Structure 1
Amino acid sequence: ACANMPSRVLALALLFSVGLSCKTKHDCFYNGECIQGECHCVPYFTGPRCGKFNFSPADKSLGEGLKSLDKKGLQRSSWGGSVLLADDGKYHMWAAEMTNEAGIKTWITNSQVVHAVADDPERPFEFKRKEVVWDVFAHEPTVSRAPTGEFVMFFSTSYGEKGIPCTGKQCFGYNGTSDESCPNDQQCFIDEPLLTRMSYAKDPNGPWSTPKALPDPGKGDTNMACYIHNDSSILCAARPTIGMYRHHDWKDIENYENFIPDTSAILPNGEIWGEDPMLWMSHDGVYHMVTHGGGWDCPFGFHYYSLDGYKWYGDCSVRVYEHIVEQKFDKPLNLSRRERPHVIYGQDGHTPIALTNGVTSNWPCTFVPKPEPGTNGTYILCPKDYCYTLIQPLNGWEEMY
């Protein structure tokens, strides 16, 4: 469900936020300095308390992310891209891609993981699709870098299971849009676990190690995102209902410890809202997390921060990103979905320079009286489910790229 707060609570939270002058960096979400009672934000954040990404207008001449075509020149749907700078000086992306020309509705039957590379210096945000890394079913990859150089991927997959989840077979579509006959994830009749597994590679081009499963209490997709420290210990964020994971050795996934963080200080109700967490550490040693708002009709996100990885702070009246994307040479994009946030870092490995999202751009959607094929079990029908992985740069990215 969408993480929309009641209007009265929202109004009170907004009054609190606007009326509160800062005293320390804590009041500026650790995204700026408190100077004479006002937050002075780092270039890539903005707002009275530095709680919003400070985006630069999207520029198609620099690339739009991952929008690939198949051999017939037809669109492939992709969903969210995890990006890291490799030792070859290039940015590498790992994204979910829907097979058989289908769209995001078929994620649970058609998703595979692909590798893409930005190898044109003149178009730094254009990623060219390379190889398939993991066949169906494989979804929502998030890749971290270990201090010893490994690229460490966490993803939902049926690797080692009996077959494809949900229906046992892939569906089909045309030009990146699913056929109306394709079931959504609310219409499954095969109860296959969507376990999170970890695999790693010394080189971004592979080969990748045999995936090992996370001991998941719910057997559902965790949306796992991790930060690996210099001592090889690891902190991971999962869906808020699952909590977080930690361990002293990132390779020892079978013994990751699941724990529920302290979120009591988060406004307005002491909860982390949404799903699809992205976790990183800023240069001053502070953990930051960005989530997607929650449901199909929530194309926005929230920001949280922590000094120790256990106690978290944030204000859910502040949206860190919205569904409107300003463009440099064109009218703004009005996105119907903007999910799977992933931060791209600059050369220092800590400074955000851009945000990637899995997006759909088909508006308006239609409200229907009851869930039906194509609604994903909701009351919203969006007939065209073509999706792609969008990149929007943040202010000051040129200095850190």
Structure 2
Amino acid sequence: MKKIIYAILFCFPLQMISQKSTDDLNLADKLLEVNEDNILINADYHNWGSSIVKGEDGKYHLFYAQMSEEIGFSSWLTDGIVSHAVADSLCGPYVHKEVVLEGRGAGFWDAHTAHNPRIKFFDGKYYLYYMSTNTGGRTLTESEWEQARHGGITNEFRALVRMNQRIGVAVSESVNGPWERFNTPLVEPSGPIAQITCNPAVTQRPDGGYIMIIRGDKPDVEYANGKWPSQNELIRSQAIALSDSPMGPWVIQPKLAVGNLNSEDPAIWYDATRERYYGIYHAFGYMGMITSEDGLSWEKAKHYKVLDKAIQKADGTEILAGRLERPFIYMEDGKAKVLTVAVLEKNGNSYSLFIPLD
């Protein structure tokens, strides 16, 4: 028997065995049923991805994306806004308070849209990360701008604003603002991602630094000379960036977090009990979870699949999502307490949903 144990240890170093043994988080088993209090819906807007922070007032503050029903769902890229809602209970009901971010207009890097927010609290300040875009110094006619708003991904003007997507941050000493914005984006595409940087997810490392999962395009997709990929040809990639400060400079690392899998909207957190990072993203049909001990080398978690497009409600019915995106995990006292997601039902309704975790 001892010879067998020694052989196992020789073939599989203790560090590797330890890595696997701590990866026991099963979010799928923690999902609880939802009710109407867990849904934030607005008749005039598509409510989309959200994130939560506990404010200095002891209440829960939600920062979420909205797109005008009048302009349409695709206006996330041109006319999106970031709004603020408040609740006494973590999973709602949330009540809209104010719009906090929108496009600042011509001359700014974030001229058009404010979208996909992630709110974080580090060392006494609130950091509201978001995505925005511009037209690359080109002035569009009214007709061209309407094509950018409503055109498909292969449309020249839609592609123009898509290609100028970047990540920024707004900073405040209070969860209620005012929010200071900056004249340059946080990080440019490089290394294993190209064309764009968007959909940031940030957490603090145990050594005191910061880590970001960041989305870009696969570098070897050809975009030059007006040749734009179709939606089906587009390959989204997730990279890792490191910084000593929430403000950067952020350095994109050479190794992808999520290989060649077409995925997006990652969330990230550090699990101090298990001494490892976890990330959750949507892969166009389900949500999957990855894990890493050092934040640089990632693999599928032991309990990889977290959620598909059918969500149980307390009244016995199901939410059947046409699209289920923008996952976010809220941690409190070292434990995952809620999974927030964005839902677009097949009937066109879209809303932010807060799934309690056991």
The TM-score, its normalising length taken from structure 2, stands at 0.75
Cα distance, 1:355–1:188 mapped onto 2, change above 3 Å? farther
| Aligned partner of 1:301 among 278, 287, 298 | 287
TM-superposed CA distance for 1:30, in Å, is 1.9
| Identity %, equivalent residues | 21
Aligned partner letter, 2:120: S
| Aligned partner of 1:213 among 185, 199, 208 | 185
Aligned partner letter, 2:38: E
For residue 32 of structure 2, give the secondary structure of its aligned residue in structure 1.
coil
Provide Cα deviations, 1:203-226, integer angstroms capped at 9, x if missing partner. Answer: 111111123412312352421111
Residues in 2 aligned to 1:333 and 1:79: alpha-carbon distance in whole angstroms: 16
In structure 1, runs of 5+ residues without a counterpart are 1-22, 33-44, 47-51, 69-73, 172-180, 364-383, 396-401
In structure 2, runs of 5+ residues without a counterpart are 1-15, 104-112, 216-235
| Aligned partner of 1:114 among 61, 74, 83 | 83
Residues in 2 aligned to 1:164 and 1:341: alpha-carbon distance in whole angstroms: 35
For residue 222 of structure 1, give the secondary structure of its aligned residue in structure 2.
strand
Residues in 1 aligned to 2:260 and 2:22: alpha-carbon distance in whole angstroms: 16
Q: 2:98 maps to which residue?
A: 131
Residues in 2 aligned to 1:92 and 1:188: alpha-carbon distance in whole angstroms: 38
Q: 2:242 maps to which residue?
A: 246
| Aligned partner of 1:223 among 190, 199, 214 | 199
Q: 2:23 maps to which residue?
A: 30
Residues 312-323 of structure 1 aligned to structure 2 (within 5 Å)? 312-314=298-300, 318-323=304-309
Residues in 2 aligned to 1:133 and 1:170: alpha-carbon distance in whole angstroms: 25
**Greater percentage in helix:** 2
TM-superposed CA distance for 1:259, in Å, is 0.7
Q: 1:325 maps to which residue?
A: 311
TM-superposed CA distance for 1:352, in Å, is 1.1
Q: 1:155 maps to which residue?
A: 130
Aligned partner letter, 2:300: G
Provide Cα deviations, 1:98-130, integer angstroms capped at 9, x if missing partner. Answer: 1353442221122111111113x4x84221111
Residues 114, 134 of structure 1: 8 Å contact kept: yes
| Aligned partner of 1:87 among 50, 56, 63 | 56
Q: 1:394 maps to which residue?
A: 357
Cα distance, 1:132–1:185 mapped onto 2, change above 3 Å? farther
TM-superposed CA distance for 1:65, in Å, is 3.3
Aligned partner letter, 2:126: F
Cα distance, 1:98–1:170 mapped onto 2, change above 3 Å? farther
Residues 237, 262 of structure 2: 8 Å contact kept: no
Q: 2:41 maps to which residue?
A: 67
Residues 67, 75 of structure 1: 8 Å contact kept: no
Aligned partner letter, 1:362: K
TM-superposed CA distance for 1:26, in Å, is 3.9
Q: Does 1:198 align with 2:169?
A: yes
Provide Cα deviations, 1:304-358, integer angstroms capped at 9, x if missing partner. Answer: 1111111112159942111110111141111111001011223x1x311111111
Provide Cα deviations, 1:183-205, integer angstroms capped at 9, x if missing partner. Answer: 34443516231111122111111
Q: 1:96 maps to which residue?
A: 65
For residue 241 of structure 1, give the secondary structure of its aligned residue in structure 2.
strand
Residues in 2 aligned to 1:317 and 1:271: alpha-carbon distance in whole angstroms: 20
Report the number of matched residues. Answer: 303
Cα distance, 1:335–1:160 mapped onto 2, change above 3 Å? closer
Q: Does 1:56 align with 2:32?
A: yes
Residues 81, 93 of structure 1: 8 Å contact kept: yes
Residues in 2 aligned to 1:160 and 1:343: alpha-carbon distance in whole angstroms: 33
Q: 1:235 maps to which residue?
A: 211
Residues in 2 aligned to 1:337 and 1:387: alpha-carbon distance in whole angstroms: 9
Residues 145, 157 of structure 2: 8 Å contact kept: no
CA root-mean-square deviation: 3.1
| Aligned partner of 1:287 among 277, 281, 289 | 277
Q: 1:12 maps to which residue?
A: none
TM-superposed CA distance for 1:167, in Å, is 7.3
